[in-house]
Amino acid sequence: MYVRIVLLALLLTIPAFLGFQIMFLAVSAVILAILTLSWFYMEKETGFVSLGHSIPFGLSAYLAALNPYLIPICSLTLLPFIFFGKTIFPFATFVASIFTWHFSHYIIIDGGGEEGFRVESFDPSELYIASTIFFIIFSIFFYFLSKSNFGLKVKAVRDDEIAAKALGINPWPMKIVPTIISGIISSLAGLLHAKLFGHVSPDIFSPFFSIFPFVAIMIGREPLVGSYLIVVSSWFLSPYIPEFHYLVYALILIVLPYVRSNRGF
Amino acid sequence: MITLTFIFSVVIYSILSLLFLICYRVCKILNLSLGSLYTLGAYSYTINPLAPVFLGIALGSFLHFATRSLNLSKATVFSLGLAILIEEIVRINVRVQYVISDATKIEIFGFTTFLEHFISFLLSILILTIFLILFLTRVSMKIKVVEEDWELAEVYGIDTKFIRFLLILISSSLFCIIGGLYTSGSVLYPTMGWKILIFSIIIATVANFFKENAYLAIPFMSLLVCTLELFC
């Protein structure tokens, strides 16, 4: 436990002293770690495996360019899919994310389309501090939420909905509230991502972002470690194999069904 | 030209959605690799017109043997991994984002179209007709039993694994072949298969609400979706 905390603290602090390029890479990894954290909370607590977290993530980035006042609605975008049930949920969210990816090419309002939109960017060093603080706060928040009375009810519904009902727990709030919380945090990650790059294009809805949290958890076990591993390895190998991260995604998805337990699928 | 393209699209989307729905209902797999097989067919056709046939058979067989012991969800995750792998291998090999595929122009009833599009249309009509004929024979009864209850079908002595293998093989091959033929004369890019897959899923999902008449509802759903696409 202590080793993990020290390792995570090092991952969060060391890049700040290693020059602009490394810090930029670290901000990107921490922002994606926030996205992964929001995904992991939903998967771990409710058992719903989302392959569509790119929707709140990308939509908030788009709305940062178009109309920031509408960003709160991004947190509700995953809500309709929980009515499909746990088995269909991963595929329904994935198809929706691919649909959004294609549809986003047709969003043209004074620019847009394939080119995307310009977003007012922030200084990466400020974003580094902000995203690190957000990551720590959300990690602590999820830890205590998981241990709370509400968190135990959510887990009870996840493990056995009928038994939870028999105990007088209404299952729907236990699915809806974690989905909204996860949506809010992934929307925030999307907003930070847009502010980092100063630009948003349809690629933000691509399978890279929709499957990223899933793969990050599979290879890193921790949102931060997994995000760092993917971002750093993709960056180092991109001059040789630009599609490296997608190949990793594919291999993990191919091998995963043989090694993963039935929870979530 | 628009009329002819529209008719071709309705028929081709019908057959692709039908294949997707059969995979889901009979083979118990949401085969997400079909879109990438369409892309692979399109690219391989530019190298050799027979390549889509062999690639479809090879990858269909691989998918069947790799997923035969997995449940629906795990088989679907596997097919998604395969889809991404195929797409990235295409991207690594092609490198250039856009490739223009050659095609032969012909004239049908005063309309100019591509020969390859016409062949894919005829092939789709042929498969739809064969399927309709099968729907009225004993063979379809076997498929229906497998669809309804896998274990019961095995009790009746039906070779469920062979039916699954055959259907995955046919669907993979046809997606590859139609991808090769129907994209002739157009610009190819590695993500083109996703659009086809989404359309097939939408048509198959809506048709699936008709339960036992789902297969018959597919052409009508395809007509509806293509009409909407035309006006949008």
> What is the interface pTM, i.e. ipTM, of the complex?
0.85
The pLDDT score that the predictor gives to residue B179 is 92
Residue A261 has pLDDT above 60, yes or no: no
Q: Closest by alpha carbon to A158, among A178, A141, A138?
A: A178
Residues of chain A positioned with their CB less than 8 A from the CB of B82:
250, 254
How many residues make up chain B in this entry?
A: 232
- Whether A265 shows a pLDDT value over 60: the answer reads no
Is A257 within 8 Å of B92 when comparing Cβ atoms?
Answer: no
Residue of chain A nearest B66, judged by CA positions: A254
User: Rounded to two decimals, what is the model's pTM?
Assistant: 0.79
Contact B97, B189 (CB under 8 A): yes
pLDDT of residue B96: 59
Could you say which of B77, B87, B88 has the minimum Cβ distance to residue A257?
B77
Facing residue for B84 by CB, picked from A87, A207, A256: A207
Contact A257 B82 (CB under 8 A): no
Greater pLDDT, B103 or B217:
B217
pLDDT in tens, B73-130: 788 889 989 999 999 899 888 765 667 777 788 887 777 888 888 999 999 999 988 8
Q: Cβ contacts (< 8 Å) between A253 and chain B: which residues?
A: 77-78, 80-81, 84
Of A102, A246, A253, the CB nearest to B77: A253
pLDDT in tens, A224-239: 888 888 888 877 777 7
Q: Is residue B51's pLDDT more than 80? A: yes
Chain B residue with minimal CA distance to A215?
Answer: B81
Residue B175 has pLDDT above 70, yes or no: yes
Helices (H) and strands (E) in chain A, counts: 11, 2
A264 has a pLDDT exceeding 70: no
Which pLDDT belongs to residue A99?
A: 87
Alpha-carbon gap, residue B164 to B159, rounded angstroms: 9
Q: Which two tokens stand for residue A160?
A: 């056995």
List all residues 6 or more positions away from B153 whose beta carbon is below 8 Å from its beta carbon: B142, B145, B146, B160
Rounded Cα distance between B163 and B202, Å, is: 25
> Of B84, B195, B201, which has the smallest distance from its Cβ to A250's Cβ?
B84
Question: For chain A, what is the mean pLDDT?
Answer: 86
- For chain B, what percent of residues have pLDDT higher than 70? 97
- pLDDT, tens digit (0-9, with 9 covering 90-100), for B121-149: 999 999 988 887 887 777 777 788 888 88
Q: Which of A215, A243, A261 to mutate to test the interface with B (most CBs of B within 10 A)?
A: A243
* Lowest mean per-residue pLDDT among A27-41, A239-253, B15-29: A239-253
